[in-house]
C-alpha cells in the first residue's frame, strides 16, 4: 500500500481527529442524548418504568437528581424504544459522569472493531494495511465525533451492522439475525437490513432476525411493561419522524423542508409543507428501492458485495424524514468500500472514487459547528449550502451506483478469504 497515502491519512487523523475529540468531550452539551438513556434506565431500575417517556418538570428534576445533565445544565426526554433502556441498564448502575466517559470509550472501541470486521475477509497481507487505512479514515470523520459529543449510540449501531455483515459472509444466519435485531430494537431504521437480506435471497437471515426481535422484546418485558412499547410506537415515534427544517437534519426530508416550508433557518423558495412531505416520502422510497434493486444484483461472493451493503445504508439515511448529522457514521460503510476498491483494484475507477472522496470531505470539513450555519446568509440562494451534507450523501449514492454498474459489465474481482 502507498506509504505516502498512509502518512497523509495519519496526519489528518492526528490533527483533525484530535481537534474534534477535544471539541466533543470539552463541549457544553457533551453527553446530551446520553442523559435520556441514563435516566430511562435508572427509572426502570427503580421500578418506575412507566415514567421513561415523561416530559414534565418532574422528569427533568429526576434527571438533575441523578446528575444526568450536561455542563450546560440540560437533559433530554427519552425518544428511544424501551429496549434501549433495557440494554443499557448496566450503565445506570454507575454514577452519570463515569458512565458517560465509559460509554464514550466503548463507542470509540466499537468503531475500531467495526472497521476491523469490515476488512476481516481480506488476506493477511492486505488486512492489516486496509484496517489501518480504514481506522484513519474513520477517526478523521466528523460525524464520529459529533456522535460522541451528543452522547449517541451510533458507534454501537455501526459495530452491530459490521458484525451482521461479518456473520453473513460466513453464512451464519442466527448470529447475523441477532445483531440486526439488536440494532433494530435500539433504533428502528436498521430494520432496512431485513429488506436487504430479503432481496439478497437470504431467508434464513430474515427469519433469524424476526425471531430474535420477538425473543429480545419478550426478554425486555421483565423490566419494561408492554404498554411502554405501545406508547413508543403510537406517540413517541410518530413525533420523532416528523422531521423538520433544522439544519442538522440532512436527509431528503430535511432538505425539502428547508426549501419548501417557511422556517427560521433559511428563506424558502415556496411554502408547500404537504407537497414537501410527499415528495420526501416518495423520493426517499424510490432511492431506497433503487439501492435494494442494485444491491440484489451483486453476488454475495463478489468483491463488490460490500459496495451494495454501503449503498443501502446511504439510501436509508437519505430516505429518513429525520436524519441528524450524527447518523452519518453509517455512511462509513460506503466510504470504506471505496477505500477497499481504491487501494486494491489494479485499474481503479477514478470518477466514482473522486466523487466518494469529495463527499467524504464535505461531511468531514464543512459546517462542523452550529455557529457555522448561523453565520450563513439566509438568502434562498444559500439553500444548497444549508443542505450541503445531504447533497454530499447524494453524491456518494451516485458514486456507489456508478461503481456497481461499471463492475457489472466486467468479470467480478475474486473476494479474498
Mean pLDDT of 304-309: 89
Mean pLDDT of 165-186: 95
Contact partners, residue 369, CB within 8 Å, separation at least 6: none
Can you tell me the distance from the alpha carbon of 280 to that of 320, in angstroms, rounded to the nearest whole number?
9
Q: What is the model's pLDDT at position 408? A: 66
All three cell numbers of 240, joined, read 420523532
Contact 157, 187 (CB under 8 A): yes
Phi-psi region of 31 (alpha: psi -120 to 50; beta: other; left: phi over 0): left
Q: Which of 8-12, 13-17, 194-198 has the lowest mean pLDDT?
A: 8-12
For position 416, what pLDDT does the model report?
40
Query: What would the mean pLDDT of 88-93 be, rounded to a whole number?
Result: 94
pLDDT of residue 23: 93
Q: Which residues pair with 302 in a beta bridge?
A: 414
Q: What secondary structure letter does DSSP report for 416?
A: P
> Residues 248-286: pLDDT tens digits?
999 999 999 999 999 999 999 999 999 999 999 999 999
Could you tell me the pLDDT band of residue 247, with boundaries at 50, 70 and 90? very high
> How would DSSP label each residue in 215-280?
HHHHHHTTTS-HHHHHHIIIIIHHHHTT--S-TTB-SHHHHHHHHHS--SSS--S---HHHHHHHH
Residue 50, pLDDT above cutoff 90: no
Residues 289-305 have a mean pLDDT of 85
Amino acid at each position: 500500500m502507498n506509504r505516502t497515502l498512509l502518512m497523509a491519512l495519519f496526519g489528518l487523523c492526528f490533527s483533525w481527529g484530535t481537534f474534534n475529540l477535544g471539541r466533543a468531550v470539552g463541549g457544553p452539551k457533551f453527553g446530551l442524548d446520553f442523559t435520556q438513556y441514563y435516566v430511562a434506565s435508572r427509572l426502570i431500575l427503580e421500578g418506575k418504568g412507566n415514567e421513561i417517556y415523561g416530559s414534565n418538570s418532574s422528569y427533568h428534576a429526576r434527571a438533575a437528581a441523578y446528575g444526568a445533565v450536561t455542563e450546560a445544565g440540560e437533559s433530554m426526554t427519552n425518544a428511544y424504544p424501551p429496549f434501549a433502556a433495557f440494554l443499557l441498564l448496566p450503565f445506570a448502575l454507575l454514577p452519570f459522569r463515569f458512565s458517560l466517559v465509559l460509554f464514550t470509550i466503548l463507542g470509540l472501541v466499537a468503531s475500531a472493531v467495526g472497521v476491523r470486521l469490515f476488512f476481516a475477509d481480506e488476506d493477511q497481507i492486505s488486512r492489516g494495511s486496509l484496517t489501518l487505512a480504514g481506522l484513519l479514515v474513520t477517526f478523521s470523520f466528523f460525524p464520529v465525533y459529533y456522535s460522541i459529543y451528543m452522547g449517541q449510540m451510533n458507534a454501537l449501531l455501526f459495530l452491530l451492522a459490521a458484525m451482521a455483515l461479518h456473520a453473513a459472509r460466513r453464512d451464519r444466519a442466527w448470529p447475523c439475525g441477532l445483531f440486526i435485531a439488536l440494532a433494530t430494537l435500539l433504533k428502528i431504521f436498521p430494520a432496512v437490513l431485513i429488506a436487504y437480506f430479503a432481496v439478497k435471497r437470504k431467508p434464513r437471515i430474515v427469519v433469524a432476525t424476526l425471531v430474535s426481535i420477538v425473543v429480545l422484546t419478550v426478554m425486555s418485558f421483565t423490566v419494561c411493561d408492554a404498554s411502554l412499547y405501545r406508547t413508543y410506537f403510537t406517540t413517541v415515534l410518530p413525533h420523532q419522524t416528523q422531521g423538520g427544517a433544522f439544519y442538522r437534519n440532512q436527509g431528503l426530508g430535511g432538505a425539502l423542508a428547508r426549501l419548501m416550508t417557511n422556517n427560521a433557518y433559511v428563506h424558502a423558495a415556496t411554502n408547500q409543507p404537504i407537497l414537501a412531505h410527499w415528495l420526501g416520502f416518495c423520493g426517499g422510497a424510490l432511492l431506497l428501492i433503487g439501492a435494494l434493486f442494485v444491491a440484489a444484483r451483486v453476488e454475495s461472493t463478489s468483491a463488490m458485495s460490500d459496495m451494495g451493503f454501503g449503498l443501502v445504508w446511504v439510501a436509508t439515511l437519505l430516505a429518513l424524514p429525520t436524519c441528524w448529522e450524527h447518523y452519518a457514521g453509517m455512511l462509513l460503510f460506503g466510504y470504506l468500500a471505496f477505500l477497499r476498491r481504491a487501494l486494491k483494484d489494479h485499474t481503479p475507477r477514478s470518477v466514482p472514487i473522486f466523487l466518494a472522496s469529495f463527499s467524504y470531505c464535505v461531511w468531514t470539513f464543512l459546517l462542523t459547528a452550529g455557529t457555522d450555519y448561523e453565520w450563513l446568509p439566509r438568502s434562498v440562494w444559500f439553500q444548497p449550502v444549508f443542505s450541503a451534507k445531504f447533497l454530499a450523501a447524494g453524491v456518494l449514492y451516485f458514486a456507489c451506483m456508478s461503481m456497481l454498474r461499471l463492475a457489472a459489465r466486467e468479470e467480478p474481482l475474486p473476494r479474498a478469504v
